[in-house]
Amino acid sequence: MTGFTAVRRVFGVRRVFGVRRVVGWTGSGKRLGKWLGAAALCAGLAVTAAPDAARAEWQPKRPIQFVIMAGTGGGADQIARLFQSIIEKEDFSRVPVIPINKPGGSGAEALRFLQDEAGNEHVMMITLNSLFTTPQLNPNLGVDIATYTPIARMALDTFQLWVHADSGIQSLDDYIAQVKQAGGSWKMGGTGKGQEDSLVTAMLEQEFGLKMTYIPFPGGGTVAKNLVGKHIDSTVNNPAEQIAFYEAGRTRPLMTMTPERLEMLPDVPTSGELGHPELVYYMQRSIVAAPEISDGARQWYTELMRKVYESDQWKEYTASEGLFREWLEGDELAAYFAEEVKKHKKLLASTGAM
Amino acid sequence: MELIQPLIDGIFIALEPINLAMVILGVLIGLFVGAMPGLGSVNGVAILLPVTFLVPPTAAIIFLAAIYYGAMYGGAISSVMLGIPGASTAVATTFDGRPMALKGEADRALVAAAVASFVGGTISVILFTLFAPPLAEFALKFGPPEEFALMVLAFATFVGLGGSDISKTIFSTLLGLVLATVGLDIVSGQPRLIFFDLPGFYHGINFLVLAIGIYGIGEILWTLEISQGRVMVSKVEMSIKRMLDAFRSLKVTVKSTLAGSLIGYFMGILPAAGATPGSLVAYGMAKSFSKDPESFGSGNINGVTAPESANNAASTGSLLPMLTLGIPGSPTTAILLGGMIIWGLRPGPLLFENNPEFVWGLIGSLYIANVFAMLINLAFVPVFIAVLKLPFTILAPVIFVLCVTGGYAPEQSMHDVWLILLFGVMGYLLRKLNYPVAPMVLAIVLGPLAERSLRQSLLGSQGDMLIFVERPLSAVFLLLGLALFVYPIVQMARHKKRQGGPAGEG
């Protein structure tokens, strides 16, 4: 695979999609014909140029829609686009993978979409934990995630408790004392209600008998900035969202909600070390496909994601952003999903969200 | 000065053949992407992200920034030519750009937009170069109360936008605010106004869907009615002499362009605000401080230069929170941010120290991109004018196809297409009844921001309204907003008194 075919592949395929948009502007049948001809030629070259090694029984026949159940710029979106670029760059697939954001209703829109695409073998989706919570919070959505085809769990993202470096809070005990003293006016910032940050906050409140004012923001980055600007008092950001401010000495992590310490934050104690082993929560980053697809297609997607999982880029990204690379596939992944649904049901009930 | 050396290095990095090629290619792509309603720079940058893996990271991010930049220039083109703002940032440009095109002055409007964009872009890059770190600190001071006060300031400019009938302006704004609440409420997580239980309403009503419906389809219906099937051709001419005249006539716009640049840049660096309120406030200011505010809305060239300089300045400004805080100021910068992370560049306070070559290469490329974006834009003015000469019977179906595909593309859902048609009919009726539609279209962009920051502020203050006046920055914005709200009303009242004698002209 040479760089040149890569160029032709990428440009050729893009142009096929470009045509739709160009039609209106040329407005001339003759030129349109030329465009289509050129585009078809490029696409043809692309197909013949792709290597046929590792031929599985099932092969995709048209571009794959890659649904992201969150908006642009967030963690899931970044990871999806990273996967797309790894797949393109390493030529793991002979058809392009096209990311589409369907953020509506904490992923409700995307979940419903995937359910309705049952049998469509050319669509996959990257999930957040809203995979477990959104169907429970919106029962009339008519989504059952057990029907989805589980493909692969690519990583687990982690949560820490963060405060401003100027707050004077050095330890979890300081933190608990300060929050109690604030008497309910302590401002905890996080993402939307019913989403991961609010669940982690509720876990903290229950474990330590605290009461905080939860202020929702549209994304983890904005949450982090509001902590640095001292508009809120604490957050439960992912490492990727806070690490730049931490390195600049603006914020301080008090506790990591994982069983083991993080390589990138070696001095931060775990919840277990501080005597609260129950306080563990992960954000899973998994890939699922539509319900009722063939075994061949399932195998092909699993193989594709395994190659991405083993790629250097993914190893580098997970290391630098503080994610655990933890692979699961097939029945094990399905069992994991079922377990998480139960866990979140309990969490939602105990936090009063449901 | 210690800044000069890295900047010169940066400009040299940007002038390396591959980086320069990326700048030119990116600007060209951006220009066309921005000129087509619905395609917008968000899609342009997202679609081309994987292509950038074929070049080194600095060249790649320069490429994406150039597309982003070119698209901001291009946004003015569809606003002026078709009256359809391709992005919320270009709504204010339609107010006077479109009337100028209808009067046969499309070339003047386009030249003014290109030059104002250049000035706005360049001034903001200079400010960026000189004051990036202190401005980043300033942006951090912006919490929810300040954001809300800023939104109030933007809403206050609506009174000046809507024309003489203030009650109709208020009605139009309220209608937009109602549409803005459709979808999932971020604070409670509950669905609101999901009409007929259609799942498509869960993601709310997109600005583009409303704008394309009201401006695009609504305009076609309106023109069909007034032309009654007669073949209409816009009267536009194009010659070197007219181009030169267009440049000469820019003298009157110096003040509005400079003011627009400063306002735009300032708004752009604030993480939540961005280019849309920036261009609005610039327009409102230009109108309020103009010698004849009545001519705004019917083709005053200052009504083009103020918002255009502001939205370009803001687009550079919004790179600042992205680079220094890791917070995207707009959906496009969000994708740029994703690109940076993929290349292992971590935005944040330390980016300037850890990756100076990248940062200064990017800043250097912005200077270069500005020059090329203006030149390329000016070179294409005759082409755009030629499109306007097509008879309406040909232009209308083309616009219709553009509207429908442009509305479908971002979310790829037919739900949005039906909404566009519905809003088209609504836009036609509102126009027939003489309601201003701009306040509604802008309310759908600013409404959610205002609602969210209001509720965040009140949650944080335990319900105490005084938080908005206790904080000095938000108090200043509220006062400014009050002034912008009252000033046009006072002026209008004075004007009416004066008009008592001779017959009024408007």
A188 forms beta bridges with A214, A234
pLDDT (tens digit per residue) in B2-39:
667 878 888 888 888 888 998 899 888 888 877 776 55
Amino acid letter, B364: G
Test B187 with A100 for CB contact under 8 angstroms.
Answer: no
Same domain, A167 and A228: yes
Neighbours of B487 (CB within 10 A): 18
Same domain, A11 and A148: no
Test B325 with A225 for CB contact under 8 angstroms.
Answer: yes
Band of pLDDT at residue B424, cut at 50, 70 and 90: very high
Same domain, A150 and A186: no
Test A216 with B334 for CB contact under 8 angstroms.
Answer: no
B interface mutation test: which of A2, A15, A64, A72 has the most B CBs within 10 A?
Answer: A72
- Asked if pLDDT for residue A210 goes beyond 90, the answer is yes
- Asked if pLDDT for residue B155 goes beyond 60, the answer is yes
Same domain, A7 and A72: no
Domain membership flag for residue A9: yes
> Which residues 69-108 in chain A show a CB within 8 A of chain B?
71-73, 77-78, 81-82, 84-85, 88-89, 99-100, 102-106, 108
pLDDT (tens digit per residue) in B323-362:
887 776 666 676 677 677 667 777 777 887 888 888 888 8
CB of A138 within 8 Å of a chain B CB? The answer is yes
**pLDDT at residue number A9:** 38
Distance from CA of B38 to the nearest CA of A (A): 10
pLDDT (tens digit per residue) in B166-222:
888 889 999 999 999 998 777 776 778 888 878 778 778 888 888 888 888 888 888
Q: If DSSP codes are grouped into helix, strand and coil, which group holds residue B478?
A: helix
* Helix ranges (DSSP H) in B141-206: 144-161, 166-180
Same domain, A239 and A175: yes
Q: What is the average pLDDT across A19-33?
A: 37
**pLDDT at residue number A352:** 66
Same domain, A185 and A204: yes
Angle at A246 between CA A241 and CA A251, to 5 degrees: 95
Band of pLDDT at residue A22, cut at 50, 70 and 90: very low
Distances from the Cα of B255 to the Cα of B108, B236, B258, B296, B307, angstroms: 18, 28, 5, 15, 13
pLDDT (tens digit per residue) in B479-501:
988 988 888 778 777 777 766 54
Test B348 with A11 for CB contact under 8 angstroms.
Answer: no
Chain-wide mean pLDDT for chain B? 82
**pLDDT at residue number B421:** 94
Domain membership flag for residue A287: yes
**Residue-number span of the structural domain to which A245 is assigned:** 160-256
Same domain, A98 and A231: no
Domain membership flag for residue A341: yes
**pLDDT at residue number A131:** 93
Q: Which residues of A touch B394 (CB under 8 A)?
A: 27
Test B344 with A316 for CB contact under 8 angstroms.
Answer: yes
- Asked if pLDDT for residue B429 goes beyond 90, the answer is yes
Domain membership flag for residue A264: no
Test B203 with A104 for CB contact under 8 angstroms.
Answer: yes
Domain count, chain A: 3
- Asked if pLDDT for residue A32 goes beyond 50, the answer is no
CB of B396 within 8 Å of a chain A CB? The answer is no
Domain membership flag for residue A263: no
CATH number at A100 reads 3.40.190.150
Domain membership flag for residue A313: yes
Write b or e for each residue in A93-108: b if 16 or more Cβ atoms lie within 10 A of its Cβ, otherwise e. bbbbbbbbbbbbbbbb
CB of B389 within 8 Å of a chain A CB? The answer is no
**pLDDT at residue number B2:** 63
Give CA–CA dist B450/B372, Å, rounded.
36
Q: Which residues of A touch B197 (CB under 8 A)?
A: 140
B interface mutation test: which of A8, A81, A232 has the most B CBs within 10 A?
Answer: A81
Same domain, A147 and A222: no
Q: Which residues of A touch B459 (CB under 8 A)?
A: 187, 213-215
Chain-wide mean pLDDT for chain A? 82
CATH number at A232 reads 3.40.190.10
Distance from CA of B80 to the nearest CA of A (A): 17
Q: Which two tokens stand for residue A305?
A: 């994601």
**pLDDT at residue number B405:** 82
pLDDT (tens digit per residue) in A237-265:
988 888 888 988 999 999 999 999 998 89
Q: Are B340 and B347 in contact (CB under 8 A)?
A: yes
- Asked if pLDDT for residue B162 goes beyond 70, the answer is no
- Asked if pLDDT for residue A268 goes beyond 90, the answer is yes
- Asked if pLDDT for residue A28 goes beyond 70, the answer is no
**pLDDT at residue number B346:** 75
Same domain, A95 and A12: no
CB of A63 within 8 Å of a chain B CB? The answer is no
Distance from CA of A314 to the nearest CA of B (A): 10
**pLDDT at residue number B89:** 82
pLDDT (tens digit per residue) in B229-246:
665 555 666 677 777 888
Domain membership flag for residue A269: no
Same domain, A134 and A87: yes
Same domain, A153 and A180: no
Q: Which residues of A touch B36 (CB under 8 A)?
A: 21, 24-25
Q: Are A294 and A153 in contact (CB under 8 A)?
A: no
Residue for token pair 């990311």: A99
Q: Which of A354, A284, A238 is nearest to A130 (CA)?
A: A284
- Asked if pLDDT for residue B292 goes beyond 90, the answer is no
CB of B194 within 8 Å of a chain A CB? The answer is no
Domain membership flag for residue A299: yes
Same domain, A127 and A152: yes
The beta-carbon neighbor of A23 closest among B54, B325, B401 is B401
